[in-house]
Amino acid sequence: MRFMVIERFRDGDPDPVGERFRNRGRMMPDGVAYVTSWIDPVGMRCFQLVDAPNRGLVDEWIAHWDDIVDFDVVEVVEPAAFWAGRSHAAAANRANAPMLVQTARRIRASGDFRWIGLYRVTTTHVHLLAFDGPGPPSYPTFALGKGLSTRAVRERRTVVSGDTANDPSYLEAFATTAAEIIVPVFGADGAVVGTIDVESDRPGAFTAGVARSLEAAASELPAAILAAPIPEPLREVHLRDATAADADAVARIYAPSVEASADSFEEIAPDAVEMRRRIASTVPAYPWCVAEVDGAVAGYAYACAHRTRAAYRTSVDVSVYVDPSAQRRRIARLLYGAVFRELAERGYHRAFAGIVTSNEASVAFHRSAGFTEVGVYHQVGYKLGRWHDVSWWERDVAGFSGMPASRDGC
């Protein structure tokens, strides 16, 4: 049985709950299994989904907390009912890419899932069509023959890895993944036309019940997957040093991070004149590279001084920005490869990146690129009506993976 446990912090104060959790954990009795949870910071409530054979065990768990928390407990339907309820919508929409994105979001919201991707399978490759979670994976397109997906396609069955750290067939998408499940999607002729790839940061997250629910979802997806266009690979990405002529494109790519999010703490997007000045002031000492696709700038990356005092001279801060239309195609990794190669040649030692914690895609990318989190500056910036935390990440300049095959100056 599955239960929704609604917790209201006594006197609206979550601190005693946090302190007890840090010291003693969830204190769940045998038979009660944690599924997922989320917090309503406005209503000062916490929602937890748990599995248990009966309500009595849930009440036994609650007894460890009822001196500081008020509880409501509601029995919820099994996940299969969720998929049955949306089958008519899936049939009616007849599949397009936006529908797949919505489906990915619904699947992720239905369980303890860190990330979910919907893929098209061709005779030679597996192509990412839609995803929900902290950023695109390291391999949006990969050849059959790699990863758990190949096993699911060739064996025509759901494949589960409960411990990816010790599974040599796992093709790493995110450094934090601890468990993965691949569910094949079958076309009308019985061929595997796609897969559902779900990842969790909790080992052993994928039970038989989860697999059945995902298989029910997969049965509704073949038309959508076959109708969605396969993303065209970027066949030619040209990397070069930035020049003054790139200022307009750089300003255009950067502007959404300023105007529509807290990814940048600037509040007024710099124009081309200002970007021209920044490029000119950076390139004498640090690399600034752009990526061109079909002759148009699709992204850029650069390094700058980490601090101004002399002893910091071999440390740098790095940043990368990619046009939304060119994302999920490893351009950011190629740009960082160019920048890090140039930094290594110039004798720089350590690179740092500051990332607003709400930017999960950037956090996932930097983690996959070998950065390690150092710490968090809490409430260090105020923008768009609220406070923001910034996490700081570091890595050695030497040994960066994903170096470009060719480069022109950068």
CATH code where residue 189 lies: 3.30.450.40
> For the chain, how many helices (H) and strands (E)?
11, 17
Kindly report which listed range (25-39, 182-196, 266-280) carries the lowest average pLDDT score: 25-39
From 375, 371, 368, select the one nearest 391 (Cα to Cα): 375
Give the mean pLDDT of 50-71: 81
Residue 268 shares a structural domain with residue 344: yes
Asked, for residue 389, whether it belongs to a domain, the answer is yes
* Full residue range of the structural domain in which residue 168 is found: 79-227
Task: Tell me the pLDDT tens digit for each residue of 333-353.
Answer: 889 989 999 999 999 999 999
Are 119 and 194 in contact, with CB atoms under 8 Å apart? Answer: yes
Q: In the listed set 227, 248, 271, which residue is the last one of a domain according to the structure?
A: 227
Task: Tell me the pLDDT tens digit for each residue of 301-336.
Answer: 999 999 999 999 999 999 999 998 787 667 898 899
Question: In whole angstroms, what separates CA 106 from the centre of its chain?
Answer: 16
Q: In the listed set 76, 108, 133, which residue is the last one of a domain according to the structure?
A: 76
Asked, for residue 54, whether it belongs to a domain, the answer is yes
Provide the H-helix boundaries in 73-192.
79-93, 97-109, 147-155
Residue 182 shares a structural domain with residue 100: yes
Asked, for residue 402, whether it belongs to a domain, the answer is no
Are 328 and 136 in contact, with CB atoms under 8 Å apart? Answer: yes
* The token pair that represents 350 in the structure block: 């350590």
Specify the pLDDT at position 195: 96
| pTM for the full predicted model | 0.48
Residue 269 shares a structural domain with residue 352: yes
Residue 57 contacts by C-beta under 8 Å, 6 or more apart in sequence? 29, 31, 32
Cα gap 285→306, rounded to integer Å:
13
- Pairing between strand 69-76 and 2-9? antiparallel
Residue 98 shares a structural domain with residue 125: yes
At residue 290, what are phi and psi to the nearest 5 degrees?
A: -120, 155
Residue 268 shares a structural domain with residue 201: no
From 400, 407, 220, select the one nearest 316 (Cα to Cα): 400
Please determine, for residue 84, whether its predicted confidence score (pLDDT) is greater than 50. Answer: no
Residue 348 shares a structural domain with residue 369: yes
Residue 69 shares a structural domain with residue 90: no
Residue 219 shares a structural domain with residue 173: yes
Kindly report which listed range (78-82, 104-108, 119-123, 244-248) carries the lowest average pLDDT score: 78-82
At residue 309, what are phi and psi to the nearest 5 degrees?
A: -70, 150
Specify the pLDDT at position 102: 81
Q: Which residue has the tokens 């750290």?
A: 165
Beta bridge partners of 159: 182
Are 174 and 137 in contact, with CB atoms under 8 Å apart? Answer: yes
Question: In whole angstroms, what separates CA 99 from the centre of its chain?
Answer: 19
Residue 64 shares a structural domain with residue 85: no
| Domains held by the chain: number | 3
Look at the chain and count its residues. 410
Residue 270 shares a structural domain with residue 161: no
Asked, for residue 62, whether it belongs to a domain, the answer is yes
Q: In the listed set 19, 50, 76, which residue is the last one of a domain according to the structure?
A: 76
Residue 143 shares a structural domain with residue 88: yes
Asked, for residue 83, whether it belongs to a domain, the answer is yes
Domain at 369, CATH number: 3.40.630.30
Are 190 and 222 in contact, with CB atoms under 8 Å apart? Answer: no
Cα gap 321→242, rounded to integer Å:
13
Cα gap 243→173, rounded to integer Å:
34
Specify the pLDDT at position 135: 63
Asked, for residue 122, whether it belongs to a domain, the answer is yes
Question: In whole angstroms, what separates CA 178 from the centre of its chain?
Answer: 14
Cα gap 397→340, rounded to integer Å:
6
